[in-house]
Amino acid sequence: MSLNLQTHTEHFTNPLYLESGRILEPYDITYETYGELNEDKSNVVVVCHALTGSHHAAGTYEDERKAGWWDGLIGSGKAVDTDKYFVICTNVIGSCFGSTGPMSPKHPHHEPYRYKFPVVTIKDMVKAQRILFDRLDIHRVEAIIGGSMGGMQALQFAIHYPNFAKKIIALATTYATQPWAIAFNKVASESILKDPEFKQGYYDPEVIKENGLSGMAVGRMAGHISFLSHESMDEKFGREYKRTDGLYELFGKFQVESYLEYNGYNFTKWFDPLAYLYITKAINIYDLSRGFDSLAEALQKITAKLHLISFSNDMLFKSDEMKHIDDVLNENAQTNHKYIDIQSDYGHDAFLVELEKFDFYIKEALDE
Amino acid sequence: MSLNLQTHTEHFTNPLYLESGRILEPYDITYETYGELNEDKSNVVVVCHALTGSHHAAGTYEDERKAGWWDGLIGSGKAVDTDKYFVICTNVIGSCFGSTGPMSPKHPHHEPYRYKFPVVTIKDMVKAQRILFDRLDIHRVEAIIGGSMGGMQALQFAIHYPNFAKKIIALATTYATQPWAIAFNKVASESILKDPEFKQGYYDPEVIKENGLSGMAVGRMAGHISFLSHESMDEKFGREYKRTDGLYELFGKFQVESYLEYNGYNFTKWFDPLAYLYITKAINIYDLSRGFDSLAEALQKITAKLHLISFSNDMLFKSDEMKHIDDVLNENAQTNHKYIDIQSDYGHDAFLVELEKFDFYIKEALDE
């Protein structure tokens, strides 16, 4: 069967009350769907994207060379089987792929928000999605799945909308962002802010896309380090030189340097710097226990079956952090969960690239 | 007894033939000494500094608030006991604290070398030191000790001047720089190069020192991540906020962010960006096996007693890398060495800050 990829944008005029006390009004949410919604709307699976991801999780548009970011996982006969499930992936608020973010026009003017955009949290992103699903008349879903920031969303769903999903599958994520991850985000934000072409937030997005923004490229390069691991870098690059004669040239390049440079600069062609600042802020202040006395109290809200999947060499969100959730649940005799740590050399990127190590597990969890 | 701190600079007019085939001529080497040279010059200990270190390893000048970088280790009654040993630490060529580097005047003009400075290697740094010691009529030393890039120098001494030192003590270092470390250096170099104030290498050093160089600050921030570990960051910073009301402010800061910012910008007041580019280049291309068929062949040159000390949570030069040297030596039945891995949460910085975990070991190794 076909993937039946569809893209939609919904417009909301009701105010979105944010965790900060501020209001976002009006706002749009752009989302993609795959598969067919069944008659009683009981076959919905929600997929949540990571920091620089988008609603485009699967399939390939006509003008695209690369498929959606989790195409290997979502589709006909795949782990998230679109012959069976109706899959929805929404672009989070604060991002730059159709949902309202800092470069969206600030009502009633047509000027972008820029710094007037309110800080949004992972909880706010989830709240906006919940409102979208309400409009779509979807009130209970089979599962919510996400990795990295997508996993943060899945966990927030589990705690704040405990009756919404039967199953929660969170990969390569954490219960609260730790200083190691915040530090990497800091390198990126500082680098963006100090780039004169960023013009203190008053850049022309078209100019940035055209010329690149070296500050964001440098920040992304740091990000790529955090997505990998010592082992994956040794495997991918070793000490290979791009040109054999570059050894004694100051700007001679190792393969790992070319990789970072290519990905860093390419990134500036498709991502918005203010969105980067706002989303990394949301990640930095993500903490499941906020508003509760403890993480244990927060986790007690969960009624869904919870699947926690970490990757042994994840340097960004360490296995220990997922294990900590498992430990707290066990201490409180909450038994409706499973935690597995997958042996992988890939580092954080494993949730995007080593699908064969966990797709069967997701299939099993969904079909349970 | 007093430390007897002395600083000297020696000028050399003979050409220094570099590994690249290029020549450095003339050149200066600045160095410090502590303690007293005995009559038969048999009590010399050489200390080698790391990337941003200098010859100022111990003691405190009148105008200083902080002592030299290994002051806890070097001094009267300390592990490297200046009552007993005459300690020499030289500023490496390519650096910016008195020895010839990219901002030194290019003979016969008075203009700085800038990009005309040749790429130097760790082996070149060691060669220049060996020539200095020759001039000082020191032809054999008790020990050479260094951590990080200092450890690289110690190992290069062991291989290329096998009769020069009785003991080699290398800490927190590697046999060849791996892509993880090269990647961090890349973030820094790219960030420096793209800062408009760097003026493509034609900056005014006084202006840079006065105003700071945000590109280098960002690069140093990335560097600081690599010097720490997840555990040390959790311990040092946790998720503490600088101001409690900063949570929902886009630029509200976590403690870890303030730490990186402070150290990043402070760094630009005392270090030169071109020196940073040249020294990180030397680190990137450091490979003990260069010029040999294998690492094993290189290590076979060593006749000194070799002490290898790694730190369990070092993220920059992983314990495994030091263990690899140990493994190769063992495979070749080279028994005159000892390897220890010190349990520490500090990460790479441990060799500078957790002295109490290894100073007794260094004392023992020296007095053996």
State how far residue B269 is from chain A, nearest Cα, in angstroms. Answer: 17
Domain of B70, in residue numbers:
6-177+285-367
Q: What is the pLDDT confidence band of residue B333, given thresholds at 50, 70 and 90? A: very high
Residue A67 shares a structural domain with residue A195: no
Tens-digit pLDDT profile for residues B143-188: 999 999 999 999 999 999 999 999 999 999 999 999 999 999 999 9
Q: Indicate whether A244 pLDDT > 80.
A: no
Supply the pLDDT for residue B245. Answer: 66
DSSP assignment of A280-311 equals HHHHHT-BTTTTSSSHHHHHTT--SEEEEEEE
Cβ-in-10-Å burial (0-12, 13-18, 19+) of A334 comes to middle
Residue B158 shares a structural domain with residue B110: yes
Task: Work out the average pLDDT over B202-207.
Answer: 96
The reply to whether B1 falls in a domain is no
Residue B276 shares a structural domain with residue B324: no
Tell me if B180 and A281 make a contact (CB, 8 A cut-off). Answer: no
Domain count, chain A: 2
Distance CA(A90)–CA(A357), nearest Å, equals 25
Supply the pLDDT for residue B110. Answer: 87
Q: Which of residues 123-162 of A touch B (CB under 8 A)?
A: none
CATH number at residue A144: 3.40.50.1820
Token pair for A284: 């930095």
Decide if A318 touches B, using CB distance below 8 A.
Answer: yes
CATH number at residue B268: 1.10.1740.110
Residue A159 shares a structural domain with residue A200: no
State how far residue B116 is from chain A, nearest Cα, in angstroms. Answer: 10
Using an 8 Å Cβ cutoff, are B170 and B363 in contact? no
Distance CA(B195)–CA(A191), nearest Å, equals 10
**Mutate: best of A182, A283, A316, partner B, most B CBs <10 A:** A182
Decide if B225 touches A, using CB distance below 8 A.
Answer: yes
Supply the pLDDT for residue A368. Answer: 86
Using an 8 Å Cβ cutoff, are B83 and B43 in contact? no
- Asked whether the CA dihedral A124, A125, A130, A132 is positive or negative, the reply is positive
Decide if A355 touches B, using CB distance below 8 A.
Answer: no
Tens-digit pLDDT profile for residues A38-62: 999 999 999 999 999 999 999 999 8
The reply to whether B52 falls in a domain is yes
Give the nearest partner residue to B249 out of A21, A119, A239, using CB atoms: A119
Tell me if A221 and B186 make a contact (CB, 8 A cut-off). Answer: yes
Task: Work out the average pLDDT over B130-141.
Answer: 98
Using an 8 Å Cβ cutoff, are A282 and A150 in contact? no
- Asked whether the CA dihedral A122, A127, A131, A137 is positive or negative, the reply is positive
Among residues B281, B310, B326, which one ends one of the domains?
B281
Which of the residues of B are catalytic? 148, 314, 348
Give the nearest partner residue to A254 out of B218, B234, B284, using CB atoms: B284
Decide if B319 touches A, using CB distance below 8 A.
Answer: no
Q: In whole angstroms, how large is the CA radius of gyration of chain A?
A: 20
Residue A322 shares a structural domain with residue A188: no
Tell me if B222 and A278 make a contact (CB, 8 A cut-off). Answer: no
State how far residue B249 is from chain A, nearest Cα, in angstroms. Answer: 7
Decide if B187 touches A, using CB distance below 8 A.
Answer: yes
Among residues A281, A301, A330, which one ends one of the domains?
A281
**Mutate: best of B194, B226, B245, B313, partner A, most A CBs <10 A:** B194
Residue A256 shares a structural domain with residue A320: no
State how far residue B214 is from chain A, nearest Cα, in angstroms. Answer: 7
- For residue B359, the cross-strand partners are none
CA atoms within a 13 Å half-sphere pointing along the CA-CB vector of A35: 26
Supply the pLDDT for residue A109. Answer: 83
- Binding-site residues from annotation of A for substrate: 220, 349
Distance CA(B184)–CA(B186), nearest Å, equals 5
Token pair for B128: 């220049």
The reply to whether A1 falls in a domain is no
Cβ-in-10-Å burial (0-12, 13-18, 19+) of B116 comes to exposed
- Secondary structure of residue A86 in the 3-state scheme: strand
Chain A and chain B share a number of CB contacts under 8 A equal to: 157
- Closest B-chain CA to A115: B250
Residue A51 shares a structural domain with residue A156: yes
What residues of B are in contact with residue A285 (Cβ under 8 Å)? Answer: 247-248
CA B220, B226, B232 angle in degrees (round to 5)? 115
Decide if A202 touches B, using CB distance below 8 A.
Answer: no
What residues of B are in contact with residue A222 (Cβ under 8 Å)? Answer: 187, 222, 225
Task: Work out the average pLDDT over B238-250.
Answer: 84
Cα torsion A200, A202, A208, A213 to 10°: value is: 0
Q: Which of residues 238-277 of B touch A (CB under 8 A)?
A: 238-239, 247-250, 254-257, 260-261, 264, 277
Residue B190 shares a structural domain with residue B131: no
Q: What is the pLDDT confidence band of residue B44, given thresholds at 50, 70 and 90? A: very high
Supply the pLDDT for residue A324. Answer: 98
- Closest B-chain CA to A20: B248
* DSSP letter, residue B287: B
Q: What percent of chain B has pLDDT over 90?
A: 96
What residues of A are in contact with residue B21 (Cβ under 8 Å)? Answer: 248
- Closest B-chain CA to A186: B257
Tell me if B250 and A196 make a contact (CB, 8 A cut-off). Answer: no
Give the type of residue at A336.
Answer: N
Tell me if A179 and B238 make a contact (CB, 8 A cut-off). Answer: yes
Tell me if A233 and B190 make a contact (CB, 8 A cut-off). Answer: no
Crossing angle of the two packed helices B122-135 and B149-160, in degrees rounded to 10: 70
The reply to whether B227 falls in a domain is yes
Task: Please count the other Cβ atoms lying within 10 Å of the Cβ belonging to residue B67.
Answer: 17
Tell me if B257 and A182 make a contact (CB, 8 A cut-off). Answer: yes
Tell me if A214 and B196 make a contact (CB, 8 A cut-off). Answer: no
Tens-digit pLDDT profile for residues A95-150: 999 999 999 999 888 899 999 999 999 999 999 999 999 999 999 999 999 999 99
Residue B229 shares a structural domain with residue B94: no
The reply to whether A300 falls in a domain is yes
Residue B262 phi/psi, 5-degree rounding, is: -60, -50
Between B61 and A244, whose confidence is greater?
B61
Instruction: Map tokens 């020759």 to a residue.
Output: B134
State how far residue A230 is from chain B, nearest Cα, in angstroms. Answer: 6
Q: Indicate whether A325 pLDDT > 90.
A: yes
Residue B111 shares a structural domain with residue B207: no
Tell me if B257 and A22 make a contact (CB, 8 A cut-off). Answer: no
Q: What is the pLDDT confidence band of residue B107, given thresholds at 50, 70 and 90? A: confident
Residue B122 shares a structural domain with residue B40: yes
Instruction: Map tokens 């000790």 to a residue.
Output: B145
Token pair for B164: 């020069």
The reply to whether A264 falls in a domain is yes
- Closest B-chain CA to A277: B250
Decide if B178 touches A, using CB distance below 8 A.
Answer: yes
**Mutate: best of A216, A218, A321, partner B, most B CBs <10 A:** A218
Give the nearest partner residue to B254 out of A190, A214, A284, using CB atoms: A284
Give the nearest partner residue to B218 out of A190, A228, A239, using CB atoms: A190
CA A45, A50, A55 angle in degrees (round to 5)? 55
What are the angstrom distances between the C-alpha of B20 and each of B123, B149, B181, B335? Answer: 11, 19, 22, 33
Tell me if A184 and B218 make a contact (CB, 8 A cut-off). Answer: no
Cα torsion A122, A126, A131, A137 to 10°: value is: 170
CA B341, B347, B353 angle in degrees (round to 5)? 90
Cα A15 → chain centroid: 24
The reply to whether B220 falls in a domain is yes
Q: Indicate whether B244 pLDDT > 80.
A: no
Tell me if A214 and B222 make a contact (CB, 8 A cut-off). Answer: no
Tell me if A196 and B196 make a contact (CB, 8 A cut-off). Answer: yes
Distance CA(A185)–CA(B342), nearest Å, equals 30
The reply to whether B188 falls in a domain is yes
What residues of B are in contact with residue A238 (Cβ under 8 Å)? Answer: 179
Residue A77 shares a structural domain with residue A17: yes
Among residues A252, A281, A310, which one ends one of the domains?
A281
Cα A284 → chain centroid: 13
Distance CA(A77)–CA(A84), nearest Å, equals 9
Distance CA(A181)–CA(A172), nearest Å, equals 13
Q: Indicate whether A12 pLDDT > 70.
A: yes
Cβ-in-10-Å burial (0-12, 13-18, 19+) of B237 comes to buried
Q: What percent of chain A has pLDDT over 90?
A: 96
Q: In whole angstroms, how large is the CA radius of gyration of chain B?
A: 20
State how far residue A194 is from chain B, nearest Cα, in angstroms. Answer: 7
